[in-house]
Amino acid sequence: MNKVVWGLILLLVIIRNDYWFWGDSTLVFGFIPIGLFYQACISLAAGVLWYMATIYCWPTDLVEETKEAIQEEPAQ
């Protein structure tokens, strides 16, 4: 799943370059141009993918190791 999430993030970076909407001014919901609507959806998708990343790609080992190190020598 870790690789799938990173793959999806890479895909998001690629499809952010929406050349297919370059000359399209269709209004979505009667007021948002489709180029802007699509990019807003990219931002929402980024939020969803980063949420998945915090679940499936979280650096648990690093976090645990840090926690142990901090407990040995607590912060001031």
Binding interface with other proteins (CB under 8 A): 9, 12-13, 16-19, 21-25, 27, 30-33, 35-36, 38-40, 42-44, 46-47, 50-51, 53-54, 57-59, 61-63, 65-67, 69-70, 75-76
Cα–Cα distance for residue pair 39/3, rounded to 1 Å: 24
List of residues 6+ apart from 36 with CB closer than 8 A:
none
**CB nearer to other proteins: pick between 3 and 76:** 76
Residue 1 or 76: the one with the smaller Cβ distance to other proteins is 76
